[in-house]
Structure 1
């Protein structure tokens, strides 16, 4: 049995791996430096991180600490539970992903750098930075026996790593940290619930492809607040299986705005409900608030509210697209079905647009219903990026109330005894 001497506390904390000792050490902080981390930004510190995690995982209210003033290079790693209650990863230093392309595994399956699984009551917090070093990845020399062209093909493929991913985890909090330069999605939650994201900063170049800020799928009961997100894709992406999502006080600059979808790809079932985005500031973005649907899918999007949205130099501030195709529309076959959209409110959306103020393009077979535009005031940007277009409402039923500008933005069709949307019977369950 190891004794809890001062020497042990200073350096030999690996002895705490014994369950009997860990059980008597509640509320402990385990620095990765004590587990052999070099913390020089060059040496791989993955083993030290895993060792600290395995000990802390068995201690109630434990903390794994990456201290300030240090740089920790970490290879792709999985940190999993189940662990004891209220485990915290305290990032006060800088965590670095491998900068060379050859350091990342090649796979046709989705990759993750920091992969968290099966956790309850877990927190990531701190004053530090999680850096994916993807700028280095994009400009790096190709691995041995690989041409520059094939290296570019590898990076352009759909298997670029997600920086931080949570799977099947509940009551998780991420707060205060900075996440930057991800090869793909920055922060992803999959099959999880009870998620709180507060006061974080996400930063990647506006031209970095597929770098969603926060990506949600099959995840419920999510609160995202008081955060700044700049990336090359959706600032927040909400995918199938998500419900009870609340976003407030978010700055999106640059990016593709707040997006529900794309949903229904490859004729799949997609269900999203009860989403609120309020007090959102979107700048220098492709879209403001958007719902995007592939043709041919089934399912529903319902009870979505966008309120107090401020936009500046946004190409299209308000968008519903049931003809979405990220390969160019000419390469996507026309299909009759679509994920149904009902109960969408845009309230107090104000600011400037560079291309089109409103684009509501809904399916001929399954039009959008219950769409409301309330106090929408949009004006052209002083220096538009391209020729501007007027608002579009195609097979979109609802009403406009209050001040709606520019003229024609309230182009919604009304459902009454004389005009009703043509819909097909539902043959699915969400």
Structure 2
């Protein structure tokens, strides 16, 4: 015999809702942020992050538009309950001047650490208050001057991260850094700082793999994109670069260190007024390998040194001596590099005299000086081949 409760015979019984599928929002204003550009909102940001990181489903931390938030050094730390955490940055964030850091470590400002599954997007501006830092004197370290200013925005020890849409300006030092992370996509960023601002790299990658950087506009006082040791499987495309120092692999091998970089594909790049174009730079005395590198479809407009491999890199603050060991450079392709060079020496391949550069390819190169003077190539212990039209005349062994 089948019994029915009143009014429920034949009705469909729905399952209980799964709380893990819910999506909660955590607005920094609800945690005490003022957004007036004067009150310190660091604690409110920290509380909103902790709440979002502790929530299940697809939690979202909201930084609302129409506000200017003053935020000091802060770590957004995981692991989180969810592998799908969102941070929506629509308001602007301003870093404090050096005088208000109160002894906090000055290597970083905003850090996202140990998070698996993170999306950071929005149209907000992140302003590092850079001029106050750039004017600050450097400190002495082992007889050499270095500036210990913070990196504005760092992703470290994380995976499956997407960063898009932000405007990051006037960083204290580097603007964006990705360190010890995997599967990170950075897209549609605008990164800006004056061309004479010190060490303000646009995006720096180190110790990371499966990294995509695409559709970004970068103009700073240092490398638009720099690639440090331990990096592999990098795809960089559709970048507008300038002012700045171009796109650089390195510097590598400093202090005799072993440095490896492999599998880097850079394509569809426009460089304007940069000091370098496509560059690999290593110190003498290092070890390791740079391999499987492609610079493809690069347009140069008034670039000082469009194509350069420099295995004699030495910072101005160091007194470097000749050494026999070197980072090995092999399997590097320059394909479809065209435009104008400020200097006649448009291609420079200065390789170690003890560890040659090998399997270098120049294919479809057309570089002319802006004044009409004939461009030339310089090679030292560089071996490879040239295909198609190559201007200036190649000098590879």
The normalised TM-score by structure 2 is 0.90
Contact 2:369 2:375 survives alignment (8 Å): no
Matched residue SS, 2:54: coil
Give 1:136 deviation, angstroms.
3.4
Match of 1:134 in 2: 130
- Counterpart mapping for 1:373-392 below 5 A: 373-382=362-371, 390-392=376-378
Match of 1:254 in 2: 243
Structure 2: how far apart are the matches of 1:312 and 1:105? 44
- Counterpart mapping for 1:64-83 below 5 A: 64-83=61-80
State the Cα deviation string for residues 121-149 of structure 1 (Å, max 9, x = none).
1111001111101023335xxxxxxxxxx
Match of 1:86 in 2: 84
Match of 1:395 in 2: 381
- Out of 330, 351, 359, the residue aligned to residue 339 of structure 2 is 351
Q: Does 2:152 correspond to 1:152?
A: no
Structure 1: how far apart are the matches of 2:66 and 2:366? 47
Contact 1:23 1:58 survives alignment (8 Å): no
Instruction: Return closer, same or farther for 1:106/1:412 CA change in 2, 3 Å cut-off.
Output: farther
Displaced runs of 4+ in structure 1, greater than 6 A?
Answer: none
Contact 2:83 2:116 survives alignment (8 Å): yes
Structure 2: how far apart are the matches of 1:301 and 1:402? 25
Structure 2: how far apart are the matches of 1:195 and 1:179? 18
Matched residue SS, 2:29: helix
- Out of 33, 41, 46, the residue aligned to residue 50 of structure 1 is 46
- Counterpart mapping for 1:360-371 below 5 A: 360-371=349-360
Q: Higher strand proportion, which one? A: 2
Structure 1: how far apart are the matches of 2:196 and 2:68? 27
Match of 1:411 in 2: 395
Match of 2:320 in 1: 332
State the Cα deviation string for residues 376-425 of structure 1 (Å, max 9, x = none).
000102499xxx9732111000011111112x3x1100xxxxxxxxxxxx
- Out of 153, 168, 189, the residue aligned to residue 157 of structure 2 is 168
Give 1:104 deviation, angstroms.
2.8
Q: Does 2:104 correspond to 1:101?
A: no
Instruction: Return closer, same or farther for 1:106/1:289 CA change in 2, 3 Å cut-off.
Output: farther
Give 1:102 deviation, angstroms.
1.1
Instruction: Return closer, same or farther for 1:36/1:56 CA change in 2, 3 Å cut-off.
Output: same
- Counterpart mapping for 1:213-224 below 5 A: 213-224=202-213
Structure 1: how far apart are the matches of 2:276 and 2:103? 33
State the Cα deviation string for residues 33-86 of structure 1 (Å, max 9, x = none).
111101001110001001111111122211111111000000001110001221
Structure 2: how far apart are the matches of 1:255 and 1:24? 46
> Where does structure 1 lack aligned partners over 5 or more consecutive residues?
1-21, 140-150, 414-430
State the Cα deviation string for residues 80-131 of structure 1 (Å, max 9, x = none).
0001221111110101100x22123557x76110011100111110011111
Q: Does 2:175 correspond to 1:190?
A: no
Matched residue SS, 2:38: strand
Contact 2:167 2:191 survives alignment (8 Å): yes
Structure 1: how far apart are the matches of 2:98 and 2:317? 29
Matched residue SS, 1:357: strand
Structure 1: how far apart are the matches of 2:26 and 2:162? 19
- Out of 120, 127, 143, the residue aligned to residue 124 of structure 1 is 120
Instruction: Return closer, same or farther for 1:389/1:327 CA change in 2, 3 Å cut-off.
Output: farther
Contact 1:240 1:272 survives alignment (8 Å): yes
Contact 1:354 1:383 survives alignment (8 Å): no
Contact 1:267 1:298 survives alignment (8 Å): yes
Matched residue SS, 2:138: helix
Give 1:199 deviation, angstroms.
0.7
Matched residue SS, 2:132: helix
Q: Let me know the Cα RMSD of the aligned residues.
A: 1.9
The normalised TM-score by structure 1 is 0.84
Match of 1:303 in 2: 292
Q: Higher helix proportion, which one? A: 1
